[in-house]
Structure 1
């Protein structure tokens, strides 16, 4: 029996993307062609383009933490803002959720180590930090151009979607036995 999911049965990913900088723009351009729904969040209204793909909803807000709280279970969070303090606040809020499918944050291994230390100081359990992907994107792509980072991140998100679909199919098969 082939339990491989088909695109028709696999729902689109719900992605909450924080940051409308160069990488955010490149990522939205790629995500526009993929099976996902994107909430694109930034406080800087002027950073958003005039037009976005049909599957992207722009949200200019001064309270991005509220977006995290309102996001549906099983969503994917991407943090790539212009501000390390905001990245940390968002990371802390996301890590307190137990129901996300993916949390990726742009940054280096050094940023990850600093954030891990700070998140632990703020009460996040060390074992939970394994769920934070930083640096983001599939391994092996060294180019730091925004478009290259976007391709690596999109590939990683499609891996997440495939994994979720396989897990769902396995549950369906187990339930029917």
Structure 2
């Protein structure tokens, strides 16, 4: 990523790419300090954008940000820094810095097939917290190029894409070819870490696929990983847009179920710290 980006541009791009990061904000200052309150910078495991003023203060702030980032958990906390001899700075002032850790990566979802349903579905999916890949063998059915959150792959053998999917990826199969659908399902089932395999089709298609998979030796537990018909059962309609909305709804459900936090009474800054900052 370009190093001359401002913190807000880097933050936007990193969040779309699902890269864990820490947003640092100068909350308050007293006396002489390198930068004023509301100054921000962004730090990842290997890069940083913008500046808190340089010097040992920034070095220690980046060190602390990366220590928090390595924990792999969301975090909000405030740390005070005295700009004296212990930091090797002669400003003589003091500053409080807010550390906001955005640790989660975007869920990876690969959509196979670029037919009518997929073309109505993708604009909805692109508005969600997903890292999307769109695969088809038909060049003229896919967009010419993707962006930070959408990768376009034109493959003669779409099944080849599954081997390269990140751990925990989801798969959505919407192709025009039932045999290709079956090949994709079996290839995805060989990846135990893929726990969502959505397959478009009717109840009849679902029943036949389950029978074929059983005949190929797949267990009931494996076959149960295939969601067919994909989408929300209580959303009616067979128009491409209606099917797309049903599928999007199911994916939203899964995203929220995946991110559901354990019950707790507080989060973020502790109340005493927050009260003292106001």
Once residues 12 and 150 of structure 1 are traced to their aligned partners in structure 2, the CA distance between those partners, rounded to angstroms, is 21
- Residue-by-residue CA offset, 1:103-127 (whole Å, 9 max, x unaligned): 1000011101111111112221122
- Residue-by-residue CA offset, 1:74-105 (whole Å, 9 max, x unaligned): 11100010100000000111122211131100
- Residue-by-residue CA offset, 1:53-73 (whole Å, 9 max, x unaligned): 752211000122221111112
TM-score by length of 2: 0.55
Extract unaligned runs of 5+ from structure 2.
1-73, 75-101, 263-278
Correspondences of 1:20-39 after superposition (within 5 Å)? 20-39=114-133
* Aligned partner of 1:13 among 107, 115, 130: 107
* Aligned partner of 1:145 among 210, 228, 239: 239
- Equivalent residue, structure 1, for 2:248: 154
- Equivalent residue, structure 1, for 2:201: 107
Extract unaligned runs of 5+ from structure 1.
171-177
Instruction: Please give the secondary structure, in 2, of the residue aligned with 1:100.
Output: coil
TM-score by length of 1: 0.84
RMSD: 2.0
Q: Could you tell me whether the CA contact under 8 Å between 1:10 and 1:165 is conserved in 2?
A: no
Instruction: Please give the secondary structure, in 1, of the residue aligned with 2:206.
Output: helix
Q: 1:25 to 1:53 in 2, by over 3 A?
A: farther
1:52: how far off?
Answer: 5.4
Once residues 247 and 107 of structure 2 are traced to their aligned partners in structure 1, the CA distance between those partners, rounded to angstroms, is 13
Q: 1:161 to 1:10 in 2, by over 3 A?
A: farther
- Equivalent residue, structure 2, for 1:136: 230
- Equivalent residue, structure 2, for 1:127: 221
Instruction: Please give the secondary structure, in 1, of the residue aligned with 2:224.
Output: helix
Q: 1:52 to 1:152 in 2, by over 3 A?
A: farther
Instruction: Please give the secondary structure, in 2, of the residue aligned with 1:147.
Output: helix
**Higher-helix-fraction structure:** 1
